[in-house]
Amino acid sequence: MNLGPVVAMVWEGLNVVKTGRVLLGETDPADSKPGTIHGDFCIRVGRNITHGSNSVKSAEKEISLWFQPEELVDYKSCAHDWVCE
């Protein structure tokens, strides 16, 4: 995270940590499936282009490193009631 621009985000939703980890792939790109970010775009562990928390507890800690509570915004899409149960 010290080698270039960083875009910090907070994702929320049902099983978001697990789903995010699936999207990213394994920490080691060599173990990541094709179609994941690490599987398609990374070559070494130390050069991964993304980072995702591995648990809700670590996410809470990492979020506090980047954001103040007042910087986090709740957002509800206008389509939420149509697509969420």
The residues near 72 (Cβ < 8 Å, ≥ 6 apart) are 10, 63
Q: How many residues in the chain?
A: 85
Active-site residue, selected from the candidate residues 51, 58, 60, 61: 51
Exposed, middle or buried by CB within 10 Å (0-12, 13-18, 19+), for 25?
A: buried
Active site residue 51: yes
| Alpha-carbon 5 to chain mean position | 16
Active site residue ranges: 51
